[in-house]
Amino acid sequence: MAPDPTRKRIARKILIRMILRLAAQIAGKGIGATKYVDVPFKPSLEEFNLEQTLENQLGKRCLDYQDIICIERIRTKSAVSLILDASNSMQREKIIIAALVVGVLAYKLRDDYYSVITFNDYAQIVKPITEDFEMEKLIVKCWIFNHED
């Protein structure tokens, strides 16, 4: 007996929400790409460029705030492409894990550039690198690609 289509749709929505929640927890860990920039003293910054600060102070009787150089971490954008297997070997838990990977990628790189490509007999761009996608739609699109029942 085939499962009820309404129940199947509800179960799929619940699973996608669970994947998104788990992806958000996983993506919250780690540090993104950063670059370091010398800036004038700011009380909120904890790192100093000691060499530049001492050089600025040379020949002066006392150190002034204008002489202190801090190091500021600036997050830089990344560009990433995720390529997913969408062949018939991707069934059950494998496709759920792939959907989780897409969710983690989408959360982690939401302010960056990323694309998602699936492949079976040919490659298909699911999310172009320059376009924004709602995360739930992206996961559904990757999960359902070639897996409609």
- Residue 70 has a pLDDT of 92
- Residue 114 has a pLDDT of 86
On whether the CB atoms of residues 41 and 65 are closer than 8 A, the answer is yes
Q: Is the dihedral of CA 14, 20, 26, 29 positive or negative?
A: negative
Residue whose C-alpha is closest to residue 135's, from 118, 125, 108, 148? 108
Q: Is the pTM of this model over 0.85?
A: no
Q: Which pLDDT tens digits describe the chain residue by residue (149 residues)? A: 667 888 777 777 777 777 777 766 666 655 567 788 999 998 888 888 989 988 888 888 888 888 899 999 888 888 888 888 777 776 767 777 777 777 777 777 878 888 888 888 888 888 898 888 777 777 777 665 544 44
Q: Is the dihedral of CA 90, 96, 97, 99 positive or negative?
A: positive
- Residue 28 has a pLDDT of 60
List, in sequence order, the alpha helices (H) in 76-123: 93-108
On whether the CB atoms of residues 34 and 48 are closer than 8 A, the answer is no
**Number of neighbouring beta carbons within 10 Å of residue 17:** 12
* Strand 113-119 relative to strand 34-40, pairing: unpaired
Report the helix count and the strand count for the chain, using DSSP H and E: 4, 6
Domain ranges of the chain: 13-29+77-144, 34-75
